[in-house]
Amino acid sequence: MASDRPEDHYDRVTAAWRYLLGENLHWGVFDADDEPLTVATDRLTSRMAEHGRLADAPGLRVLDVGCGIGTPALHLAATYDAVVTGITISQQGVDLARRKAAASPVGQRVTFLKADAQDNGLPAASFDRAWVMESSHLMPDKPAMIAECARTLAPGGRLVLCDLVHGRPLTQRDVLSRAKAFNLLRLAFGRAVMAPLDAYAGWCEAAGLVVDDRVDLGAAALPTLDRWEENARDHAAAVIDLIGAQGHADFAASCAVLRDLFREGLLSYALITAHKPD
Ligand code: SAH
């Protein structure tokens, strides 16, 4: 089996995922079930920006933790005048993000680096916002990642994080009875560990942050899976070319698995914000 470490996984799938997920490598938030995916994925970025108070002042220094191919970072630079440092563990991601920045009118305001968010090596107190968009599920040591966000935030700075979460703590029975489903998810999405939102709140507090709000977006996020399935059908040839017939089939099948897990209440999509006291 190919390596499912997040860096290897993302290096392998990024080109295909541009067909399947689009330029934003995250879920969408839908106001109507039949909206285009790009409208909904941009809405999640806007929703995060509202909760993270990106519009508080121009020129905010943002650490984008797990920056994908740079689309959210460029959006924050263009919309809120933010100065963004994006980090990702995938070299493919860094290369593509830099290429997109070079072609963007706000490219001067974004920098992309290859770094592990669990030990990012960046200077303490050097950011006003930590932006963690759908990357934490890929990190085995989430408390370390959140502690790194807290360390690199300036006093008064804010963390905003969204991701897939467990709707309730998983029992051993849940895991055993769905071994096939979880295995398929691992093949399609790489090695991931989800956690309930409460756990994130606890890690924030342990890192010295004060939790401000938590929002469940599960119901509004669910139509994302319909769009991904449509993309898998519409772009089958291109995707198979990039990740093979098995990779394409695993992705399509994993959408159905995710839908079931959402409906059973085992998975959801959530957002949390916290701040570092002055
Ligand atoms: N935030 C982006 C990308 C989400 S995909 C967007 O919304 O478009 C998840 C991202 O997390 C990928 O870029 C992946 O390389 C990155 N990632 C996974 N593990 C990481 C780690 N330990 N440190 C930094 N980035 C990581």
pLDDT one-digit tens code per residue, 27-43: 999 999 999 999 999 99
Cβ < 6 Å from ligand 1: which residues? 6, 10, 24-26, 66-68, 71-72, 87-90, 93, 116-118, 133-135, 138-139
Atom in ligand 1 nearest the alpha carbon of residue 45: 7
Å from CA of 121 to ligand 1 middle: 16
Rounded to two decimals, what is the model's pTM? 0.95
List C-alpha distances in Å: 240 to 9, 15, 67, 88, 180. Answer: 16, 11, 25, 25, 23
Q: How far is the CA of 146 from the centre of ligand 1 (A)?
A: 14
| Mean pLDDT, residues 49-65 | 97
Query: Between 72 and 3, whose confidence is greater?
Result: 72
What's the pLDDT at 126?
Answer: 98
Please give the distance, rounded to the nearest whole angstrom, from the Cα atom of residue 142 to the centre of ligand 1. 13
The percent of residues above 70 in pLDDT, for the chain, comes to 99
Interval 145-168 mean pLDDT: 97
Beta strands in the chain (DSSP E): 61-65, 83-88, 110-114, 127-133, 153-166, 210-216, 267-275
Considering only CA atoms, which residue is closest to atom 13 of ligand 1?
A: 68
Tell me the pLDDT tens digit for each residue of 64-119.
999 999 999 999 999 999 999 999 999 999 999 999 999 999 999 999 999 999 99
Ligand 1 midpoint to CA 191 (Å)? 12
> 230-271, pLDDT tens digit by residue?
999 999 999 999 999 999 999 999 999 999 999 999 999 999
Which residue has the least CA distance to atom 20 on ligand 1?
89
How long, in residues, is the chain?
A: 278
In whole angstroms, give the CA distance from residue 170 to residue 172.
7
Ligand 1 atom showing the smallest separation from residue 24 Cα: 8
CA of 88 to the centre of ligand 1 (A): 5
Of all protein residues, the one whose alpha carbon is nearest to atom 24 of ligand 1 is 88
Residue 1: per-residue pLDDT: 58
Query: What does the pLDDT average to over 60-67?
Result: 98
* pLDDT (mean) for 149-158: 98
The whole-number pLDDT of residue 31 equals 97
The pLDDT value recorded for residue 187 is: 86
**pLDDT at 4 (0 to 100):** 76
Q: What is the torsion angle, in degrees rounded to the nearest 10, for the CA atoms of residue 98, residue 100, residue 101 and residue 104?
A: 160
